[in-house]
Amino acid sequence: MRDAFFEELVLRAKQNSNVMILSADHGAYALEDFSLNYPNQYINIGIAEQNMVGVAAGLAMSGKIVFVYGIAPFVSLRVLEQVAVDIALMQLSVNIVSVGAGFTYSTDGPTHQGLLDLNAISSIPNINILNSSDPLNTKEFVNICLTSLKPHYIRIEKEKLAVMQRLNSIDNAMNNGYSLIFEKQKSQVLLLSSGFLSNLISEMITDQEFLELNSFDFIDIHQFNPVSTALIEKIKNYKKILIFEESNKFIHTQLIKYVNGIFANVKTVSVDSASEKIFLGSSRQDMLETFGFSKNIILNEIKGFA
């Protein structure tokens, strides 16, 4: 997932000398050769994320298109004031690329787990959030950033994830801010998710156990702050919505102002970042299961809701 993004970004950076990549002493395979061959377009700021955002703002004001890269909590929570004042307020072409969504860095503990980054960044006006769920939309995020020339927070996965089977084309998905993954005729129930959990659920719903459930549709959302008008119009067709998210009710917060009063029932299954369940030394899969995202629990949630 990370390589899918940076391979495309490096290709575009080679074609456009105004594209700059800044790192907070955090590497990626695709950046190694680029940093050696195009040293004028790559700066390793070091472990100084707040300074990196300031440098990025200065470069953007001089006409550069800047991508800054680091681990999720350190390029969101640690730099929140700098992002708000230096980038979003000024509407500069700076794209914050974060890796380590959710429990990616599970064994490094809460300081490295990306559970609050989406909530924090979404509190800032004028910055679009893109959350990757497979290599296809991750790669397309580069084009969005280079085309719009506005501030973005791009959340990419470190792990290798399968390409999701969409019912809409990738071009349609990019235009509308979401992918339609599963659909049954005349369904009144909608499942919503984003990022890693979308990919996980997309693999689960091909199992016979899921196919035998009552009618439901499933959508992966990749664009937030704001959510697209197309998505809002789509979800108005449903009476009930069930949200799965590896964050602290971020999707719920983004959508509730639109769905409140429309749905008879809205339920969110999410990670409570303040929960006593947060612990060290476990794999991402173990931590997700602890928070209720095993196949059986997801299946039972859908059964009970639909």
What are the pLDDT digits (tens) for 64-90? 999 999 999 899 999 999 999 999 999
Task: Indicate the domain borders of the chain.
Answer: 2-156, 170-305
Assigned CATH topology for domain 2-156: Rossmann fold (3.40.50)
Report pLDDT for 145. Answer: 96
Averaged pLDDT for residues 253-271? 74
User: For the chain, what is the HEC assignment?
Assistant: CHHHHHHHHHHHHHHCCCEEEEECCCCCHHHHHHHHHCHHHEEECCCCHHHHHHHHHHHHHCCCEEEEEEEHHHHCCCCHHHHHHHHHCCCCCEEEEEECEECCCHHHCCCCCECCHHHHHHCCCCCEEEECCCHHHHHHHHHHHHHHCCCEEEEECCCCCCCCCCCCCHHHHHHHCEEEEECCCCCCEEEEECHHHHHHHHHHCCCHHHHCCCCCEEEEECEECCCCHHHHHHHCCCCEEEEEECCCCHHHHHHHHHHCCCCCEEEEEECCCCCCCCCCCCCHHHHHHHCCCCHHHHHHHHHHHC
Q: Answer whether 2-156 and 170-305 agree in fold.
A: yes
Q: What is the residue-averaged pLDDT of the chain?
A: 87
Averaged pLDDT for residues 140-152? 95
Q: pTM for this structure? A: 0.90
CA distance 170 to 157: 18
Architecture of domain 170-305: 3-Layer(aba) Sandwich (3.40)
Report pLDDT for 12. Answer: 94
CA distance 254 to 266: 13
Averaged pLDDT for residues 233-250? 86
Nearest residue to 131 via CA among 96, 91, 162: 96
Poorest-confidence range of 15-24, 56-65, 116-125?
116-125
Report pLDDT for 292. Answer: 74
CA distance 55 to 61: 10
Averaged pLDDT for residues 155-160? 86
Poorest-confidence range of 112-116, 253-257, 275-279?
275-279
